[in-house]
Structure 1
Amino acid sequence: MTELRSPGMRADVIAALEVLATLVPEAVERWPGLTEAVHRLVDDTVRGRRDVAESVGWTLRDEHEVAAIRAVPVPLLGVLDQLDPVAPDPAHLRHPRWPHVRTAAENAREVLTPST
């Protein structure tokens, strides 16, 4: 396994993926929530660097993980762009494209946390 320079940030990314993969409208009051997950994943990982591939060695181990992370913002930003920025979390989770967000997040989480 490659040693990472920022394992704490990797843990934050995995936690964000967990939220996106499992959050349901009936349980939006959990912590971290949707806002924190979006911030950790999109702002800190995807937009925080010119290219998410620059995260290899810091929070991501290889190009396989980069591809998995790149797949999450596509449906996520699509949902966010279609709703008012201050729309309540349940509105996001009930959006017709939210299942795509959930699937992409779950796939990325599985790539970043393979079972041994």
Structure 2
Amino acid sequence: MHWLVDDTFMDETGARAMIPYLFCDEEEADLVQIVVDALVHVLDDLGPTAPDSAYLDHPGWIDVLDSACAAYLALAPGKRSS
């Protein structure tokens, strides 16, 4: 969570700003941007001081998990043709 938001500022600049430094192309960046957007939605709802259990219980957490899984599967070594 900290890496996606705090360390990269993708919540402010967008994942496409990390091409070619972190992502090879728009497809990769867009997959990660979906994760960032889902995560920011939960963070905005709960604020920075909520306990971990509140994040896990938030109805939007499933979107974080689903989008992170999709990005991971698409970006995993050996999955990309480039």
Q: Which category describes the TM-score, using the shorter chain as reference length?
A: 0.7 to 0.9
What's the TM-score, normalizing by structure 1? 0.59
Map of 2:4 onto structure 1 = 41
Map of 1:100 onto structure 2 = 63
1:53 to 16, 19, 33: 16
2:29 to 66, 80, 101: 66
Asked which structure has the greater RCO (Cα within 8 Å, sep 6+), the reply is 1
Off by >3 Å, runs of 4+ in structure 1 = none
- Does 2:51 correspond to 1:88? yes
- Does 2:61 correspond to 1:110? no
How far apart are 1:44 and its partner, in Å? 2.5
Corresponding residue pairs, total: 78
Provide the C-alpha distance between the structure 2 equivalents of 1:94 and 1:71, rounded to a whole number of angstroms. 20
User: In the TM superposition, what whole-angstrom CA distance separates every residue of 1:11-35 from its partner, at most 9, and x where no partner exists?
Assistant: xxxxxxxxxxxxxxxxxxxxxxxxx
Structure 1 segments unaligned to the other structure (5+ residues)? 1-37
Structure 2 segments unaligned to the other structure (5+ residues)? none
Percent of aligned pairs with the same amino acid: 37
